[in-house]
Structure 1
């Protein structure tokens, strides 16, 4: 049996913690997908969750990676994807956030995240969080002499599990930004022309320093045009649906 790494979490034969898709992409867009995977390292024993729970939205952004890959092909853009579940450590949360390694997600207790020591939290940071963001830094550093726009692809659940509350979300898609509105405004205006779509502006989420990391760290600090795109997950259940959304976003970016 392959040995675990020195920190006792990852086996040598497990997938990489970060994937770069189309690394020689020529587009001015760079894409990121923070919640691309629901994979849990073997050494973390599914974090105490069932396989069904790991298929749900608490573990990843369903359909986001498929849309991001297809959009990267349409644009000829470089795409960076996280290799493991947001429940291991959330690559789009500041390390000081209570949601960085959350013990409860949408009402589900994540037993493998309960009562972690600072050393255990640091292990996950060093193995999963830092490598992902270091790859993004390296890609952006290499493009410092050319125009770059950073686009983050996410998906969101149609409703949240809050007993007695109406948490249905009407938006088919939403976009948000922090201080640099040009790209998000362009997307909003283009998608809003489709009368069949309910398009959110800073919905279902606004970018916030307390709960968001990727675009603040990599776009705002570099003063790059950027946008976070959120697509409702019930529209990303099939191959044709993810293809449709990739084409829709590609057309909106023109």
Structure 2
């Protein structure tokens, strides 16, 4: 078996005023897409920050095979620099990594074209719709060709049509990469989780531990009519039941 792209082993995180999160055990294989679902405060965003190295556990071990600078992160908001254009926003992580400005701009242009914004290179964030801004954020995360891509409910504020289009784009961008990046995606939407991921993990509301793991049927990317597939509908219902059970006791909110 290939070395895990990232793994949490017996990880515990202490927060003031609530019981600790964990112990959490989680392994992400190279090229797989994993969805994390759970109540607010169950630790979904905390797990992403741990995997990214943005937060450190109180106890336990984190292993990351991804090379430095090869982890992409897309947050709930697009978090773009409002004073500059899409090209400069996307080129930023490359320039911070020491890539020459001309090369960074060239790669930024390619990344924006890949997410369907090749004609909006010089647009400022205020000139972009919410879906376009999130595409810029996705391009910025992908421009470094990450081994691990972390997405923290990036489509939650978008309308259902835009969300579907972005999920299809994410599958397309993932499929054309060689090797494919591992993706960990946080969502409250069980339909989104089953459609997007090859594996969905339910977190306990009180501890953040994985209480249920469901493999989703069918190949990724999905066939155009897969949402009407009986296996899809059945897995959505199983995941919804597991999520409801995990939320039987909801803790005071800490990390989401």
Larger relative contact order, structure 1 or 2 (CA cutoff 8 Å, min sep 6): 2
Q: Verify same fold: TM over 0.5.
A: no
* Structure that is richer in strand per residue: 2
Q: TM-score, normalised by structure 2?
A: 0.29
